Chains A and B, each alone.
Chain A
Amino acid sequence: MDIFTTFDIAASGLKAQTTRLNTISSNLANAETTSTPEGGPYKKKSVVFQTEKLPFKQHLDQSMQPRGGVQGVKVARIIEDTSPPQRIYDPSHPDAKADGYVEMPNVSTVKEMVDMMSATRSYEANTTTIKSAKRMAMKALEIGR
């Protein structure tokens, strides 16, 4: 049913935004992490979105229609920011280099907060899509009354 396609697409958006929020929370939690198992400070992570192929049945339904297929979204991969770490002078720190500088993560807390607001708003937009799809379905059912 077409209304359920809206649901599925919006659900893919919700899932993608949840993953995005996960990476943001990881960045914020590790904003001060100076050592990782791979060595060096924590590196900022961000998500890359990609259009998602729907399950075969829906894909078939859509290709039967003359209009172009609608697509969901998915997180293609999570990338690491390779920009250089911040260097702070603190010789007493256990992770300090020989010259007394500590490499701090390249995470900007302010940028992460802005990104988080954007993720929240996108999530809300997707839930609003679901709500309107539901409202439309309810209106359609009212025809019979």
Chain B
Amino acid sequence: MDPIQSLTPALTRPATTGPAAVSQAENSFGDILKNMVAETNQSQQTADQAMQQLHSGGEKNLHGAMISMEKADISMRYMIQVRNKAIEAYQEIMRMQV
């Protein structure tokens, strides 16, 4: 119930503010994508470090390495899905007859 309530004002806000909000949304989508790529990269690096520490017999334990790998995997898949959607939308617009 709570997420729906918190989402409603966020969804209605761009509609009321007009064209300025659209350009802002464009920028923010790029920012979101950039952040997402950075975060995914970060989680990949964490997984890499965990694996290296495991191989060199550091403090990190087996399940810790596995879990950071899983986190990296899920972040990666999520990023790929967002990218697919963005490209799909772009192609849909490019196909549009004017």
Contact = CB atoms under 8 A, between A and B. Distances in A.
B29 interface: no
26 contacts: A3-B74, A7-B67, A7-B70, A7-B71, A11-B63, A11-B64, A11-B67, A14-B63, A15-B61, A15-B63, A15-B64, A18-B61, A18-B63, A65-B2, A66-B2, A127-B63, A130-B67, A134-B74, A137-B78, A138-B74, A138-B77, A141-B78, A141-B81, A144-B84, A144-B85, A145-B81
Which of B61, B64, B74 has the most chain A CB within a 10 Å cutoff? B74
A52 B24 CA distance: 41
Interface of A: 3-4, 7, 10-11, 14-15, 18, 65-66, 127, 130, 134, 137-138, 141, 144-145
A125 to B, nearest CB: 13
Contacts, number: 33
Contacts of A15: 61, 63-64
Contacts of B70: 7, 130, 134
Interface residues of B, number: 13
Contacts of A145: 81
A7 B72 CA distance: 12
Contacts of A134: 70, 74
